Amino acid sequence: MMAQYHALKAEAPDCLLFYRMGDFFELFFEDARIAAATLDIALTARGHHGGELVPMCGVPAHSAEAYLARLIKAGHRVAIADQVETPAEAKKRGGSKALVGRAIIRIVTAGTLTEEMLLEARAANWLVAIAEAGGELGLAAADISTGRFEVQPVTRPALPAELARLNPAETIVAEGMDGLVADAIPAGRFDSGQAEQRLKSRFGVATLDGFGAFTRAELAAAGGLLAYLDRAGRGAPVLLQPPVRRATADHMMIDAATRESLEMTQASGGGRKGSLLDAVDRTVTGAGARLLAMDIGAPLVERAEIEGRLDLVGWLAEDGGQRERLRAALRALPDIGRALGRLVAKRGGPRDLGQLRDGLDAARTLHEALTRLAEAPALLRHLLPALAGHGALVEELRRALVPAPPIDASQGGYIAEGYDAALDELRGVGGEGRRAIAALEARYRDTTGISALKIRHNNVLGYHVEVPARSADRLMTDPGFTHRQTLAGVVRFNAPELHEQASRVTSAGAHALAAEAAHLEELTALALARTAAIVATADALARLDVAAGLAERACEDGWCRPHFVDHACFEVAGGRHPVVERAVAATGERFVANDCGLSEDRRLWLVTGPNMGGKSTFLRQNALIAVLAQAGSFVPASSCTMGLVDRLFSRVGASDNLARGRSTFMVEMVETAAILAQATERSFVILDEVGRGTSTYDGLAIAWAVVEAVHDRNRCRCLFATHYHELTRLAERLDALALHHVRAREWKGDLVLLHELAPGPADRSYGLAVARLAGLPPAVLRRAGAVLAKLEEGKAKTGGIAAGLDELPLFAHLAAVEPDKADPLRAALDAIDVDALSPREALDALYRLKAAAGDG
């Protein structure tokens, strides 16, 4: 057995090997240690190898999916080695000691999942392959759970942005490619010539011209992906639509840093909650949620396509009754796209066919209802044909299947009564046999006098008589019963009459299962013959769900339809941050809306004001409004007019990347450099506190130069927030620069943050007031106030920011007490007559001084 195990392990050395032994999948050696630690299960040992015990652990085969899910989530691959013959076949092949044949039937990886339990219902599951050929890069991406397949050329600088858009579950590259964090596989699988033939064969075409003019690098990536899927599935088919050729110019370019800082699909702490996607998502199906995530991740840049989506959202927003009827119908739909994916991959079952039946039938009903509506928008008219045309398949599945088919086909019971007369007859024989066995059980109780006698069944003994151990002697001497097995507390027997009845039941049951399996295969073939049409239906339903969900979201908070123009502007009235607004509303407070007016002659706004005043929120909300608008959504504003954005950049917040040797300031500079190198006149940029991670002079100089570069060279729409008030002087010579600030007021010594944007620069930064709000100790605040006064005095005299600091004594702040506010610690010290104190009084005085210092 160990020789067989090692041979199988050699086929998949990079995987944990699930080795089937009876009702368990066992793991050995290092695989066992890894799996036991990951799954928190017992690590045992079995036999010896090389003079040492063999580590071993196992999981039940019937619940293997749950363990697989945990292993895959932990980053492991798993090779499934199953039995490919029965013990009887093995015995016939090689005698009584022949080992049952086993083979790796599948390699389970994060990017090759189709099982419902292993997938996140509301997230796509992309497998990405990257290849290099002729000095160019190509990217192929497939989600085999739904069949989506994309291919595109990509430059190395743009590659991180594309990977961030897809957020793949798994990425593979050819061995030898440098600088990419991905799993390397043999370069031979990325041969572009072989890839072309593989694609032609896969989609049954003589030429790929109908799919697009692919570069060698794109072909290599697509071929590598297909080869990987073939190896993982051991030749089993997977659901793949014909490849769609994309280009980076097809959608708004958003790099990984921008996606992270804007929390587009994931919040900063991980997960969807708190992200833009979470704030917007009102879809009622898994397919709709996945499509919405793709829309937000890749906003469109083609105006006509955006307007088509907005027309459908607007139509549904205006008709609340129609919207609710549509959402109610969609809410009841199964995920037919993923059900089809499992059937194609031969991992489906009766329930998946039932889901196709119910989903396609509901789509037909929707088609009939929506076709009757007048003045439907163009996108809806385009989607309607895909909802119909499945009548014959639906009727056949309705006749053939029970209303709620089971997941597991092995026990039968999924073919409806009346569909197959021969099957009904077999079931009748089996039913009569089971009734006869029940009658036999009653008769055995009467004749033996053992009231606890039962007839039971298991996979080893079949049907047998079971009695408590204390009653077994009566059957041991009865010639009508033959002893089979003694267990703790019970004894089991055979009986000739029972054997005869059991044979009838077993034979009828086996034939019935075979008949049902044949019908399952036929019905699956009928469904797979309509694969392309079913995929189109699933896509159309998902698009309807997205539009209805966006309409629902727009109506919840009074969002408006964005208006697009041909020139580069960004004019928003009453704009709000969709995530922050909800969080603020939950506390019972009101979010303060603000306007933004970027035009060709005022394309760069310099925003000043205190921390916590709302600068970062203002910057982010406008970037998110641009994303939502071009994704085809209404936006959180009173009105919105904008020119299309080709690239979106965000340099907001501070973080380091110590693993790559980058400090917070280095990360800031890398991100800023990328913006200056890539932003065009059609881009939208938000920059917050550039230069704050280094010395004051260096930071101001960098921020000054960046503002000039954005204004003079990039000439893009930009919101630039800063604490460097010196930058406001740039307004004197940069004609497209406008000054704005977030308003704040001090009232009776307290800072009131108004979160309102107003024209002009801020009068000061209110840094000490914010520090007081944050709870800085009063003594520290007084010291900071004295330092600030000296700094401002030195600056006024010499023009130097740090002038006069060397003249400031360490405890000067103790003397700088406002006349009307006597220092309680100083007063307590002055009141003490040191020479007159007894030791006890001195100790009491020390305690009073300590208390005064703490209160101060």
Pick out the residues of the known binding site for ATP. 609-616
Specify the DSSP element, H or E, that contains 697.
helix 696-709
Q: Please name the amino acid found at residue 287.
A: A
Tokens of 574: 């009453």
Angstrom distance (rounded) from CA 692 to CA 690:
6
Distances 444 to 324, 431, 434, 441, 450 between C-alpha atoms, Å? 62, 20, 15, 5, 8
Structure tokens at 621: 């909300």
- The helix/strand/coil state of 592 is coil
Question: How far, in whole angstroms, is CA 201 from its chain's centroid?
Answer: 33
Q: Which two tokens stand for residue 186?
A: 């043999």
Question: Residues at the annotated binding site?
Answer: 609-616
Per the rule left: phi > 0, alpha: psi between -120 and 50, beta: everything else, 379 is alpha
Positive or negative, the Cα torsion across 770, 772, 777, 780?
A: positive
Q: Determine the Cα–Cα distance for residues 351 and 335; give it in Å rounded to an integer.
A: 11
Residue whose tokens read 């743009």: 158
Rounded Cα gap, residues 305 and 379, in angstroms: 9
Q: Which two tokens stand for residue 18?
A: 């699930």
From the number of C-beta atoms within 10 Å of its C-beta (0-12, 13-18, 19+), residue 218 rates as buried
Contact 371, 389 (CB under 8 A): no
**632: which 2 tokens?**
């085809």
Which two structure tokens, joined as six digits, stand for 578?
């969709």
CA torsion 351→357→359→362, rounded to 10°?
-140
> Rounded CA gap, 357 and 815, in Å?
85
CA neighbor of 606 nearest in space, from 732, 486, 502, 769: 732
Look at the chain and count its residues: 856
- CB contact at 8 A, 512 and 412: yes
- What is the spatial distance between Cα 624 and Cα 577, in angstroms, rounded to a whole number? 8
The backbone torsions φ and ψ at residue 479, rounded to the nearest 5 degrees and listed phi first, read -65, -15
**How far from chain centre, in Å, is Cα 844?**
64
